[in-house]
Structures are given as structure tokens and as C-alpha cells.
Amino acid sequence: MLIRRLEITGVRNLSRACLENLSPINILFGDNGAGKTSVLESIYLLSSARSFRGHKLKPLVNIDMDSCVSFAEIDIEGLGYQPVGIKRFKASAKPGVIKVAGQHVKSASVLAENLPLQVINADTFQLLEGSPSVRRQFLDWGVFHVEHQFYSVWKSAQRCLKQRNSLLRHARIDQPQLAVWTSELVQHAELIHGYRAAYFTQLVPVFEKVLDRLIDLDGLQLAYFRGWDKDRTFTEVLASNQQREQEQGYTLSGPHRADLKLRYRASNAADILSRGQQKLVVCALRVAQGYLLSQLTGKSCVFLVDDLPAELDFRHRKALCGLFEELQCQVFVTCVDHNDLVGCWGDDTSISMFHVEQGKISEVVAGGFAPAP
């Protein structure tokens, strides 16, 4: 279990809330607007230093406060449970403060490394119907956690792209400079593609198995596109794009154009699957990443599932809950009515229940509600 205790100050309507007795499965229930998603948002802050509901800090921080804090005790590999905290200020010019095990940390990637996290919410439909960048982020999440070199190579490729695009925008292009950045970009692009392709090859069979447990969608196919023509080298593609790139002022192909394609019966899956089917496919993709992470690294990840019952009938809710139990990861699930999840979990599963009401959180213990400290 990665998170043992959670303290939230000033995130949306949660002026001050504390969740003490966390379990592998944690259910947060309550009326609309109570603050359930805000609890998930606070956990997400601990993994990425930002919200999953947009980049603006002003709406994230409680209307009457200047800053928000999310603090937790997190099981860090080799160190045991350690305090991890993040403070963000409403004034966006003021940098946030990140502390891990008592030390100030500069990069949010340290948070992501210590707390691998998967979110399943209304936005996750974007994984099927959104732009390629959403699917790239999904793929790169996995690559980041299993391939330690990936992040630095990815950052270098971003730098090359920026430099190259800036040269391409000039009226008179500095060709020698362009050749330097092109050559560097090619090297990084090949590495990124190598990491992504290796990860993708391992993900596919796990995804197929997980999907099979959730829903019968025989014929659903997941494919990886590297961002440039599969039959030519990246150097050849860049050479043939030269004229158009100079006209348009940016790099047309490359790892920044990679994508995952999901097809079902010769159509784009997003165009043909029902809402519930789409949710199950997205869940299968994310749960598969959780399985693969633990297989390849021994690490487990935390799942944040906002409104789990939405779109799913009882049989499919139960199948999804069963997968989470099997994965032995920690899960935070929200729902309006906790009765919607009755019968979905095994008898021996450790579950904590929290009632969220107007920004206050009470742990539900046998026989009634106990206010959280």
C-alpha cells in the first residue's frame, strides 16, 4: 500500500481534511459538489505537482486561502514510509514547494517516480477520442517508469525540436545549424522509438488479457505509430519533408507525432464503441499498465477512479473491482451512492469508506460515521 495517510489543506472546498486509516481499497462517497474529486485531485498533486482539472492554480486553491497543501506518508522504495508534501500558491508567479523525505526537491519528476499514478475519470475517454498527445502521454507514462534513460532522452529531443522549429521559422535558414539539430533529433528520435516500441510490445499481451477479463470485444486492435513513415528512415523522411517544413515553419514528423491506434471491426474504436464499452477499454489500458509496471519493476501504482459506477452495469463494475483487488494496488474510488459498489468486492478485501460532505470527510466505521480528525 503506497499511501498510508493523507492530509489536505485548501484544495477547493477541502479547507482541512485528513484521511488516517487508508486501506488498499478506499471508497469516497457523497453528494454532488461534496469534494470527492477534490480528494483525488489532492492525491494527484502528490504525483505531478499539478491538478488533473487544468493547469490554473487559482481555481485549485480554496477561495479563502492563498495556498494549498497536500501531504501524505508514502512508501518509498528502499526507505519505507516517508513524508511527501507539495504546496502550491494561488499566485502563479510563486513557485510551488515540494518536499520528499524531509528534503526540498526541484523537479516534479521525483514525485512521479515515487508515486506512479493512474487516473480514470470522465477525461479518460480522451484516450480514445482525444488528440494523439493524450495517447502519447499514456504510452510515455509506462516508458518513463520502466526505462530510466527515457526522461532525459525525451527532454533532449524536446530541446532539439524547439531549436529546429525556431530555425525553420526564419526567412533565411541557417542550413549548417539546421543540420546539427536535425542530426541530434534523429539520434534521440531513434532512441525514443526504441524505448516506446519495446514497452508497447510488452503492453499488448497484458492489455489483451485484462480486456478479456472485463468485456468481450474480440477483434479490438491496438497499434503503435512511431511518428514517421514505417518504411523509411527518419533521416529520409526529414529530407523529403524539407521543403514543406520550411514553408510551414515546424518539424512535421518525429517522435512528437507518435500515436496509438485503437481499431474495432475496421473502424476507429471511438466511433463505434458504446460509452460503457469505451470506459472498459480505457480501464483495461490503464489497469494493463499497472500490471506491467509491477511485472517489470516490482513497483505498484495507485489508481484514482472518479465515479467508478458511472456507465457500468453491475457485472462490469464487479469485473473491474476484481481486477483492482488482484493487482493488489491501492485504489481510491469515488461514487455518489456507496450502495452502487456493494457486492463488487471480495469478502477478505480491506476497504476503508469515507463520507464526503460539504468539504468535510468522515470515516465510516461499522455502525456509523466517525468524523475524521
Chain contacts with ligand ATP (rule: CB under 6 A): 12-13, 30, 32-38, 59, 61-63, 336, 356
Q: How far is the CB of 46 from ligand ATP (least distance, A)?
A: 16
Q: How far is the CB of 253 from Mg ion (least distance, A)?
A: 39
* Nearer of residues 37 and 289 to Mg ion, judged by Cβ: 37
Say which residues have a Cβ less than 8 Å from residue 96's Cβ, sequence separation at least 6: 49, 86, 87, 88, 89
How many helices, marked H, and strands, marked E, lie in the chain? Answer: 10, 16
Q: How far is the CB of 35 from Mg ion (least distance, A)?
A: 8
336 binds, among Mg ion, ligand ATP, none (CB under 5 to 8 A by kind): ligand ATP
* Nearer of residues 40 and 327 to Mg ion, judged by Cβ: 40
* Nearer of residues 30 and 254 to ligand ATP, judged by Cβ: 30
Query: CA–CA separation, 237 vs 230, rounded Å?
Result: 10
Count how many Cα atoms sit within 13 Å of the Cα of residue 122 in the half-sphere of its side chain: 5
Cell of 58: 487559482
Query: CA–CA separation, 197 vs 202, rounded Å?
Result: 9
Radius of gyration of the chain (CA): 22
35 binds, among ligand ATP, Mg ion, none (CB under 5 to 8 A by kind): ligand ATP
Nearest 5°: CA angle at 261, between 330 and 164? Answer: 100
Q: How far is the CB of 88 from ligand ATP (least distance, A)?
A: 12
Residue at 37: amino acid letter: T
Nearest CA-CA partner of 164 in 258, 251, 254, 235: 251
**Alpha-helical regions (H) of the chain:** 36-48, 109-114, 126-129, 132-146, 150-168, 175-214, 234-248, 269-272, 275-297, 314-327
* Nearer of residues 81 and 89 to ligand ATP, judged by Cβ: 89
Q: How far is the CB of 123 from ligand ATP (least distance, A)?
A: 13
Give the residue nearest to Mg ion (CB).
37
Query: CA–CA separation, 190 vs 208, rounded Å?
Result: 27
Chain residues binding Mg ion by CB under 5 A are 37
* Nearer of residues 173 and 364 to ligand ATP, judged by Cβ: 364
* Nearer of residues 66 and 271 to ligand ATP, judged by Cβ: 66
65 binds, among ligand ATP, Mg ion, none (CB under 5 to 8 A by kind): none
Q: How far is the CB of 35 from ligand ATP (least distance, A)?
A: 4
Question: Which whole-number Å values give the CA distances from 116 to 52, 121, 142, 289, in the listed order?
Answer: 14, 17, 9, 10
* Nearer of residues 29 and 138 to Mg ion, judged by Cβ: 29
Q: How far is the CB of 258 from Mg ion (least distance, A)?
A: 32
* Nearer of residues 32 and 274 to ligand ATP, judged by Cβ: 32
30 binds, among ligand ATP, Mg ion, none (CB under 5 to 8 A by kind): ligand ATP
Query: CA–CA separation, 2 vs 314, rounded Å?
Result: 28
24 binds, among Mg ion, ligand ATP, none (CB under 5 to 8 A by kind): none
205 binds, among Mg ion, ligand ATP, none (CB under 5 to 8 A by kind): none
Q: How far is the CB of 309 from ligand ATP (least distance, A)?
A: 11
255 binds, among ligand ATP, Mg ion, none (CB under 5 to 8 A by kind): none
Residue 301 sits at φ, ψ, to 5 deg, of -120, 165
Q: If residue 117 lies in a helix (H) or strand (E), which one and from where to where?
A: strand 117-120
